[in-house]
Amino acid sequence: MPRFLISRLSALGDVVCSLPAAVALKNGFPDCHITWAVDKRFAGIVECCTAVDEIVRIKPGPSPKTWPTYDQPFEAALDLQGLLKSALGIARAQANQKVGYHWQREGSALFSAQILPDPSSFHVVDQYVDVARAVGGTMDRAEFALVPNEEDLASVKAKLAEAGVDGRFVAMNAGAGWITKRWPPEYFGALIEALRAKGVPTVLLGAKGADQEVISTVAAQGAKFADLSGKTNVRELVSLISLSSAHVGGDTGSTHVAAALGKPAIGLYSITRPQRSCPYGQIERCHYKPSGLSDITPDEVLPTVLEALGV
C-alpha cells in the first residue's frame, strides 16, 4: 500500500485549498494511505476530509525535539506550504521523493524539490494539485472531499435554533486575518438589512478576538443578525457553512470553506487577485476593486447574493 505524507500546517483557508492534493493522490493510488501534518488549530478541517487517513498535529520549533517522526516510510512527502515549519514537517520522514510547492521560502528548498505549476494552473488550488500530480496523483478539476461531521451538524443546528434561525440563511464573515482584506463594517450592515428586507436572515461567523470588534461595529449600524462568531470550533464552522444558502466574505478562510462545500461564495477582493485566490470555481461571484474594498458598494454586491439565492 503506497503511503504519502502532506505537510500543510496553516492557515485555515490555505489548508482548505490544499485538500484537493490529497484527493488527487487517492485518485492516482486508490488504496494509498495519506498522512497529513497540520497545526492543531486547523486540524478540524483535515478531520472533515474523507481523503485523509491519518492526522499528525504538530508545531515544530527550533529544537529538533519538536520535529515529527514517522514509523513507516512514504512513497512521497509533499510540502504544500513552502515555509521552514512545513519543511520540518517532512524533514525526518523517510520518503522516495520529497517535493514542494513552487514558492519555497525560509530555506524550505533544502528539504524538497520545487514543483513548478502547469502554465494553465492560475488558481492556487490547481498549483497545489500540480505537486500531487508530480508524484502520480490525478485530477481534472479540483475536488475537496470536505464533509461535515454528523455530531457537529447536530450541535450547530441547536445553536442556530437558539439564535432564532430556522430555514435558509446567508453566512457572512466580516473579519479577516489582514485588515486590508476586510470590507467596511457599515457595508456589511447595509447588506444585512437589504437581505432582511427580502426575508433572508444573516448569520455572522468569525473567530474570537479581533473579529468581535468588527462584529460590534456591524451591530452598531443597527443591523439585525444572528451572531455565532466565536461560538463554533473549526469542524462546527464547516457544518455551519454547509447549512447556509450562501456565504459572503473577503479572501478569508470561511470563504474557501464555502467554495469547498459547493456553496455559493460571494468574494470581496482588493489586494489579492481573484484569478489566484477566489472561492474556487466561482470567480463570476467575486467583486474585485484593486483601488480598495471600500469601492465595492453594498448595492453592487446585493444582486450577486440574490442571484445566488434564486431570489
* Stated pTM of the model: 0.96
pLDDT tens-digit profile of 210-237? 677 788 888 888 899 999 999 999 999 9
Whether residue 226 is preceded by a cis peptide bond, meaning omega within 30 degrees of 0, is no
Q: CB within 8 A of 304, min separation 6: which ones? A: 266, 285, 287
Q: Which residues pair with 95 in a beta bridge?
A: 74
Q: Which three cell numbers stand for residue 251?
A: 479572501
User: pLDDT of 164-178, one tens digit each?
Assistant: 999 999 999 997 766
Question: Side-chain half-sphere of 136: how many Cα atoms within 13 Å?
Answer: 13
> 242 and 148 in contact (C-beta within 8 Å)?
yes
Cell of 298: 453594498
Q: d(Cα 126, Cα 121) in Å, to the nearest integer? A: 5
For cell 503511503, what's the residue? 3
What the block records as the C-alpha cell of 222 is 443597527
Angle between helices 185-197 and 210-220 (to 10 degrees): 50
Q: What is the pLDDT of residue 130?
A: 98
For residue 172, what are the β-bridge partners? 204, 248
252 and 235 in contact (C-beta within 8 Å)? no
- Could you tell me the three cell numbers for 293? 474594498
The upper half-sphere exposure of residue 54, i.e. CA atoms within 13 Å in the direction of its Cβ, equals 12
- Domains with residue ranges and CATH for the chain: 3-133 (3.40.50.2000), 150-309 (3.40.50.2000)
pLDDT tens across the length of the chain (311 residues): 999 999 999 999 999 999 999 999 999 999 999 999 999 999 999 999 999 999 999 998 889 899 999 999 999 999 999 999 999 999 999 999 999 999 999 999 999 999 999 999 999 999 999 999 999 999 999 999 999 999 999 999 999 999 999 999 999 999 776 677 889 999 999 999 999 999 999 999 987 776 777 888 888 888 999 999 999 999 999 999 999 999 999 999 999 999 999 999 999 999 899 999 999 999 999 999 999 999 999 999 999 999 999 98
